Amino acid sequence: MDAPDLPIHRWLGRTDAERRWLAGLPRLVAELADRWQVRTGPPFTTGTSSWAAPGVTPDGQRVVLKVAWPHREARYESAALRVWDGAGAVRVLRADEPRYAMLVERCLPGTPLSRADLGWQQRLAAAATVLRRLWSVPVPADAPFEHVGTVTAEWAGLVRQRMRRHRPPFDPGLVELGAELLESLPRTATRTVLVHGDANPDNLLAAHRSPWLAIDAKPMLGDPAYDAHPLLAQLAPAPADSPATLAGRYRMFAELVGEPAERLLCWALARTVEGALWSVSRDDRPAARDAMARAAALARATS
């Protein structure tokens, strides 16, 4: 396995640290496979910040070996999987936390919810079932996870900083509303759960043990309503000129997950504005404009 041939090479390798990590990855994977006695196949090709491949243990168990580029969002993934212990998410079988490596159960057939042969209402219902299971698991008092509010307060600062630096032609009031929501929503949450953090439909896979299981968590402690945005945005997008349709879809999902529709909409607005300014910082103006159009529609849906 040569570093330039890794599927994630198109995403990583811009900095000296990333290049060093990529260069050492083949040796690390070989060491982990030997230690955990797993024979791996060709790696999955969809990763952006981690190497992952299907494997088989000596007793025939189907597994996935995953090694993530060491970064903040991946730091406590294995810890979250241990807390959930299979309730809505894959089980972790082995972990090397300092090196961001895990051996987890493999989902079979492994079809992502985004490609399931289901209508959008059925997909949202399936996603809601997974989220309710994840949120229902008690979190130990000594759990190491960051709080959503800590992270989103930093995002609010970045939103304002990027707006000043890049001066995109966006409605400043809408941008500031998004930044304010990133700061205020965590403070007004009525309960705290272990959120998945990246509950998009590609991270929910069909499995034999349970109809759908979550993978690739970016776990944090905080408001469960934080998790809904990627699912609604990708599984049930509504026309930007129809705030009533958009609001109706959020109300439907709110009933499925047992959270207030207003909070789901506000989190979606906040995270969409953050995503727009992130795209600006990456000089992806078309994506940024599309995101701000969605943010405007979400703002109308909340009024």
- Give tens-digit pLDDT for 265-278: 999 999 999 999 99
- Strand-pairing partners, residue 268, are none
Task: Pick the more confident residue, 149 or 11.
Answer: 149
Average pLDDT of the segment spanning 122-140: 97
* Percent of all residues in the chain with a pLDDT value above 70, rounded to a whole number: 96
Give the pLDDT score at 2. Answer: 46
Residue 156 has pLDDT above 50, yes or no: yes
C-alpha dihedral sign at 73, 79, 83, 85: positive
Residue 238 has pLDDT above 80, yes or no: no
Summarised one tens digit per residue, pLDDT across range 218-228 is 999 999 999 99
8 A C-beta contact, residue 158 and residue 282: no
Residue 138 has pLDDT above 70, yes or no: yes
Summarised one tens digit per residue, pLDDT across range 78-110 is 999 999 999 999 999 999 999 999 999 999 999
**Core vs surface per residue 246-275: b (16+ CB within 10 A) or e:** bbebbbbbbebbebebebbbbbbbbbbbbb
Q: Which of 252, 48, 278, 251 is nearest to 182 (CA)?
A: 278
Residue 230 has pLDDT above 80, yes or no: yes
Residue 1 has pLDDT above 90, yes or no: no
Measure the CA–CA gap between 161 and 173, rounded to whole angstroms.
15
Measure the CA–CA gap between 235 and 232, rounded to whole angstroms.
5
8 A C-beta contact, residue 89 and residue 135: no
For 3-105, which CATH class?
Answer: alpha beta
pTM comes to 0.94
Q: Taking the domains of the chain in order of start, what are their residue ranges?
A: 3-105, 118-203+218-302
Which 3-state string (H, E, C) describes 211-247? CEEECCCCCEEECHHHHHHHHHHHHCCCCCCCHHHHH
Residue 232 has pLDDT above 50, yes or no: yes
Structural fold of domain 118-203+218-302: Aminoglycoside 3'-phosphotransferase; Chain: A, domain 2 (3.90.1200)
Summarised one tens digit per residue, pLDDT across range 25-60 is 999 999 999 999 999 999 998 878 899 999 999 999
SS3 63: strand
Structure tokens at 280: 């600006």
8 A C-beta contact, residue 250 and residue 135: no
